[in-house]
Structure 1
Amino acid sequence: MTQAIQSLPITKILPPGNILMTGCSTGIGYHCAKQLHEMGYQVIATCRQQADVTRLNEEGITCFQLDLADSQSIQSALKKVLLATDGKIDALFNNGAFGLPGAVEDLSREAMEYQFQTNVFGTQELTNAVVKIMRQQGHGKIIYNSSILGFAAMQYRGAYNASKFAIEGFADTLRLEIKQDNIQVSLIEPGPILSEFRKNAYEQFKRWIKMDESAHQAKYQAMVKRLETVGPSVPFTLGPEAVSKCVVHALQNNKAKIRYRVTVPTIVFAYLKRILPNRWLDVLLVKAGGDGKR
């Protein structure tokens, strides 16, 4: 099953010809933006930081500043995007997101709101605006970058788990509601992918979690070692190209897959969730998460 994802056929460019992408500063978003640009797509990338916007524009990729946590920033960026594309958006890749590690009981209301502002509220606000554009033009493709954690929760990732569960709920519902409008909705569910995700998550952990006051302090110490690891920290880690192949497949096929499961862990746990009793699955999820070590 993994091999099938790795060898998804890449054919000539088919409509859509332009694609709006969020979270393109590093990792999956940056790799996808570069590849699609090189393939001839009109890529409209977005980043939260102006320095990253400048860098991508210097590399020849059209890029605008967009902070998903800021509604005004979303509306401002969308206006610029529409000017650059003559009012059309053929595809949207919702990639922008971050992780906020920590035990659920250690998450303040402010921390949870902070996580959801970007991963859920901003992402769906942008999507809702783009849906209206796609309906008017008579076609469109919306791709959400979810996660294995969008259907299989693991310890000390509660805020991120919940945000990805929420995104999957929105995506599945939206797909049913706009099917008649010739707008396709797909979810990509990656497992471990090489990126700066852990580095950024560690910064959020230090900002929001009071480690010294937590009942989970010992587990946090192991988790911090993982977050500080450079390179792969778990088996079956793939590069960002594994996700970009799915994005290309979704763009180039008349009937994109509803779900693209990327990496062995995602495929295995999707299967186990269907067949195992919940308590058995809990045991495996604890082992997979390594009490924060993995």
Structure 2
Amino acid sequence: MKESILITGCSSGIGYYCAKQLHQAGYTVVASCRRPDDVDRLRKEGLHCIQLDVTVPDSIHQGLEACLALTDGRIDVLFNNAAYGQPGALEDLPTDALRQQFETNLFGWHELTRAVIPRMLAQGGGKIVQNSSVLGLVAMKYRGAYNASKFALEGYTDTLRLELQDTPVHVSLIEPGPIESRFRENAKKQFERHIDMAASRHQANYQNTLDRLGKSSPSSRFTLPPESVLKPLQAIIDSKQPEPHYYVTQPTYIFGFLRRVLPTRWLDKLLSKSD
């Protein structure tokens, strides 16, 4: 019997693609979405889908119970994927906006992961997969909130892996660079919601940020489709001993290497060219 898999953040992009493909491959996939209309849409497409808002603890636990009802009480793989990016210079970022970034990108994942670990231990094994980012490896301007959440996720996940190393529960990070999704569209909404562009000394650079976020075409020639994340996820599912880290897209390989070999000031000079 194929594994049962819970994937968060499935309304679009990576989560949606992975849920559909793994479902078609015969896995018992439970997709989760925050909004009821997205839940209804995915159900109409034939997917098991539950409502789960990672910023609301009650929703997390109710969603997990709904998932377990669909999988006969088993959860073999948890793919923590629900996340968004909050653009803006840190000096312009309201503390509440930073707090909201961490609620979605880290604290909710912690709440769900804590609830899943005892069940995986009781059933004799499982895999926890965290979808991080190249921006969990290196920092870029005007991405400080997202950088901070993903840097924190990297440390959190490495610690979790050490603490579970004497158990049959495996922990892995997937670290993508640019992927085709609604990430930029959602980030633009968050920028407009929280950043007072007219009052900022970064106004000219912010216009470049808005232009980039508003493009319908890929933001980089290195942008890959969501299929590129499915490949390492499938490798983790298939492996008895999955790797701790899986790089996706050329920028992740490049910056993962450069942060190890370049002096900090040289790397800063290179990274400061991005807006």
TM-score calculated relative to the size of structure 2: 0.98
Give the aligned partner of residue 270 of structure 2: 284
Q: Pick the aligned partner of 2:252 from 266, 270, 277.
A: 266
Q: Pick the aligned partner of 2:144 from 143, 158, 172.
A: 158
After superposition, the C-alpha distances for 1:168-223 in whole angstroms (9 at most, x for unaligned) are: 11110000001111111000000011110000000000111111111111110111
Give the aligned partner of residue 11 of structure 1: none
Q: Pick the aligned partner of 1:218 from 204, 207, 211.
A: 204
On the 8 A contact 2:5/2:27 being kept in 1, the answer is yes
Give the aligned partner of residue 170 of structure 1: 156
Cα RMSD, aligned residues only: 0.9
Give the aligned partner of residue 99 of structure 1: 85
What letter matches 2:160 in structure 1?
A: L
Give the aligned partner of residue 221 of structure 2: 235
Name the CA distance, whole Å, in 2 between partners of 1:179 and 1:150.
22
What letter matches 1:78 in structure 2?
A: L
Give the aligned partner of residue 257 of structure 1: 243
Give the aligned partner of residue 118 of structure 2: 132
After superposition, the C-alpha distances for 1:116-156 in whole angstroms (9 at most, x for unaligned) are: 11101001110111111101111000100000000101010
Name the CA distance, whole Å, in 2 between partners of 1:122 and 1:239.
26
Name the CA distance, whole Å, in 2 between partners of 1:160 and 1:16.
34
On the 8 A contact 1:211/1:217 being kept in 2, the answer is yes
After superposition, the C-alpha distances for 1:71-101 in whole angstroms (9 at most, x for unaligned) are: 1110111111111112111000000000000
User: 2:182 aligned with 1:196, yes or no?
Assistant: yes
Q: Pick the aligned partner of 1:246 from 218, 232, 235.
A: 232
Name the CA distance, whole Å, in 2 between partners of 1:108 and 1:240.
32
SS in 1 for 2:113: helix
- How high is the sequence identity, in percent, across the aligned residues? 55
Give the aligned partner of residue 68 of structure 1: 54
Matched residues, number: 275
1:16: how far off? 6.1
What letter matches 1:193 in structure 2?
A: I
Consecutive unaligned residues in structure 2, runs of 5 or more:
none
User: 2:77 aligned with 1:88, yes or no?
Assistant: no
Name the CA distance, whole Å, in 1 between partners of 2:272 and 2:248.
21
Name the CA distance, whole Å, in 2 between partners of 1:82 and 1:28.
22
Name the CA distance, whole Å, in 1 between partners of 2:16 and 2:140.
27
1:231: how far off? 2.1
User: 2:57 aligned with 1:77, yes or no?
Assistant: no
The ranges of structure 1 where at least 4 consecutive aligned residues each deviate by more than 2 angstroms after the TM superposition are none
1:242: how far off? 0.3
